[in-house]
Amino acid sequence: MSIGFETVVKYLPGEVLDVRDHYSYLEPAIARLSIEAQEKLRSTAPYQVRRLKDVSAAEIMALAAGLKAVDSIGLNPSEIDALFVAQTGGKQFMPLLGSYLHLNLGLRKNAIVRNVVDDNTSILDASYVAWNFVKSGLCKRVLVIAVAAQIGGQTGFGVDLTDPLAQNYGDGAAAAIVSAQNLKCEFLSYHFESYPVRPRTGGTLIANIGRVRPLANPDLAVKAGVEDKPGAYLVLDDPLFDQVAGRRGLISESLGRALKKAGLGLQDVQLVIAPHIGHLEPGWMLDLQAAGLPQEAYRNLRSRYGNTAAADLLIDVAEFAEESSIAKKSVVALWTPCVGVQLAALILRWPGSPYE
């Protein structure tokens, strides 16, 4: 039985921020960094990002993406058997968005609802479980939603807008329906690897939040338009993530193992979509080229949307599908590391079914 995405859609807020212009208030903070750090930051910032300035940004975007997915194939919400939600940011760390979306999407009372909290890999991990739910006959259709509410929510989670790193991040959401019908693409394999080098808050009550800390540059709070208050803001002060996720060979070797599960090799891949982590991209691209892939095999929408964390991969797939820029019968690799470090890959064939 072929299983894959029956539909995949994105929802991006309407407000577009020109990164260089909007974040010019960060210049004093950037100037305090080392020359090397300044160069790295400036060379990897996206051109623009999207923002939804609302305390309920996570709820609004996730719901919009979910509704769009259901509408896109003319489904009644009662035809959704399960919902998986991956979120970055939001106004509360428990309960997460699952029950809110369940109510507002109008799903059946007994539809399965799971919040997945594995950082950037969440959406791939969720897709794997959804794949198995469909394969086993437990579900006909599983809705997966990913949302990043990082810069517009101002809820004490997400990105510290006085931190120079803020300019890398954006808001956005995407959703897909996993089923065995009318497939847009077919799942070929799922692969996971773990390179534990530092703790990542896990388990089920704390979700993905860091320690509470003050703003990085309280003197910039007014210009950033935020309250000067502590929050569980993103912290990237540990070089271990970069060392592991940016290790030469990591992307090609792990993708090779993911593809092997599908009976394929790296040379069979036409498109690799990786997360929007600008400073690691040059290394990943070199790695893939060294493994024999053409430069154009690596594509993503980082420069347009910034880092949308849990939603990166689905947003890209949705937009590439919309613009029909994925060649028929392409093998597509969705690959992402997450803090910890762990990584996941989902290999798809696009379009992969005789229905296409």
Partner 1 sequence: MKVGFETLVRCVPEEVIPKARFDYLQPALAKLPLRLQEQFSIVPNEVRKYRGEDGDRAELMAIATAREALDASGLQPSDIDYVIGGAVSLHKALGLGLDTPMLNIANCCASFVDSCQIAWNLVESGECRRVLIVASAALAGGPNGGTTDLTDAIAPIFGDGAAAAIVSSQNLKCEFLSYYGETDGACYRSARGEVRPLANPELAEAAGVPAGPGPYFCMDDISYIEVASEKGYLRNSLEKALDKAGLPLSALDVVICHHLGDCEASWTQDLVDAGLPAETFQNLRLQTGNTGHTDLPTDLAQFVHDGLVRPDSVVALWVPGAGISLGCLVLRWLA
Does 102 contact partner 1 by CB under 8 A?
Answer: yes
Does 103 contact partner 1 by CB under 8 A?
Answer: yes
Torsion of CA 109, 58, 84, 105, to 10 degrees: 30
Does 8 contact partner 1 by CB under 8 A?
Answer: no
Does 162 contact partner 1 by CB under 8 A?
Answer: no
CB burial readout 291-311, b (16+ within 10 A) else e: bebeeebbbbbbebbbbbbbb
Does 257 contact partner 1 by CB under 8 A?
Answer: yes
Hey, is 289 helix, strand or coil? helix
Does 231 contact partner 1 by CB under 8 A?
Answer: yes
Q: Say how far apart CA 38 and CA 40 lie, in whole Å.
A: 5
53, 50, 57, 64: which is closest to 10 by C-alpha? Answer: 64
Question: Quick one: 37 or 94, whose CB is closer to partner 1?
Answer: 94
Hey, is 325 helix, strand or coil? coil
Does 76 contact partner 1 by CB under 8 A?
Answer: no
Does 263 contact partner 1 by CB under 8 A?
Answer: no
Does 336 contact partner 1 by CB under 8 A?
Answer: no
Does 26 contact partner 1 by CB under 8 A?
Answer: no
Name, in order, each residue with C-beta under 8 angstroms of 120's C-beta and a sequence gap of 6 or more. Answer: 275, 309, 310, 312, 336, 337, 338, 339
Does 209 contact partner 1 by CB under 8 A?
Answer: yes
Using the Cα atoms of residue 265, residue 267, residue 273 and residue 276 in order, give the sign of their dihedral: positive
Kindly indicate which of the ranges 9-17, 26-34, 151-159, 324-332 contains the residues binding partner 1, using the contact rule CB under 8 A: 151-159
212, 238, 241, 236: which is closest to 343 by C-alpha? Answer: 241
Question: Quick one: 132 or 181, whose CB is closer to partner 1?
Answer: 132
Phi, psi of 96 (to 5 degrees): -80, -170
Q: Which of 62, 96, 144, 173: binder of partner 1 (CB under 8 A)?
A: 96
Question: Quick one: 70 or 297, whose CB is closer to partner 1?
Answer: 70
Report CA Rg, the chain: 19
Parallel/antiparallel/unpaired status of strands 4-11 and 172-179: antiparallel
Kindly indicate which of the ranges 170-178, 224-232, 294-302, 318-326 contains the residues binding partner 1, using the contact rule CB under 8 A: 224-232
* Number of residues lying near partner 1 (CB under 8 A): 63
Does 226 contact partner 1 by CB under 8 A?
Answer: no
Q: Which residues bind partner 1 (CB under 8 A)?
A: 91-96, 98-104, 107, 109-118, 125, 128-129, 132-133, 135-136, 138, 155-157, 190-196, 198-207, 209, 212, 229-232, 257, 340-342, 344
